[in-house]
């Protein structure tokens, strides 16, 4: 039987190590443009900004290299990876292909439990959108978490662990 439960993202969002915490904060800041493409990421400055040691920060930066958000420059440190409009379009097309296939498989395999999880995730996302429209403090971060949970609920019944893996 396929596990179609919707993951509880509350605990999954909490970092378990200093490296993971630094990685998540840096990743968010890069994606939100606080560190623009091409910017040199100086460990000595970032360790103060993120309140972690140099070793922890280097590990987080290496994780971001595997995400293709940061590029290593040998002995010269790290930079935010460049991105072009063509890259963005390619990423978007690839993501649409994967998400469409994941959803197709989830619909074919989903059951009432999956449907209930999906309805619940949609309800929570709708409530977060209301708060966003009302300009509540913290609404953006809450919406992002609930949007991710909704997309995870959509594909929760997809039997391909690799498709689900690439969705993260």
Residue 78 φ then ψ, to 5° = -130, 155
- Tell me the pLDDT tens digit for each residue of 139-157: 888 998 999 999 999 999 9
Q: Per mean pLDDT, which range of 50-54, 103-107, 112-116, 123-127 is the poorest?
A: 50-54
Q: In this predicted model, which residue has the larger pLDDT, 165 or 52?
A: 52
- Model pTM above 0.75: no
Taking CB atoms within 8 Å and a gap of at least 24, the contacts of 66-72 are 67/27, 69/27, 69/30, 69/31, 70/30, 70/41
The 10 Å Cβ neighbour count of residue 144 is: 13
- Tell me the pLDDT tens digit for each residue of 72-82: 987 788 999 99
């Amino acid at each position: 039987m396929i596990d179609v439960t919707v993951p509880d993202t509350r605990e999954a969002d909490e970092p378990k190590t200093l490296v993971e915490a630094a990685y998540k904060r840096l990743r968010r800041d890069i994606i939100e443009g606080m560190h623009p493409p091409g910017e040199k990421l100086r460990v000595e400055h970032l360790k103060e900004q993120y309140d972690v040691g140099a070793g922890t920060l280097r590990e987080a930066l290496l994780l971001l290299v595997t995400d293709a958000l940061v590029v290593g420059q040998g002995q010269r440190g790290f930079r935010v990876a460049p991105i072009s409009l063509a890259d963005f379009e390619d990423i978007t097309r690839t993501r649409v292909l994967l998400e469409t296939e994941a959803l197709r498989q989830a619909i074919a395999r989903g059951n009432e439990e999956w449907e209930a999880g999906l309805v619940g995730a949609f309800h929570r996302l709708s409530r977060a959108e209301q708060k966003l429209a009302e300009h509540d403090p913290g609404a953006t971060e809450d919406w992002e978490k609930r949007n991710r949970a909704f997309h995870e609920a959509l594909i929760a019944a997809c039997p391909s662990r690799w498709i689900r893996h690439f969705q993260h």
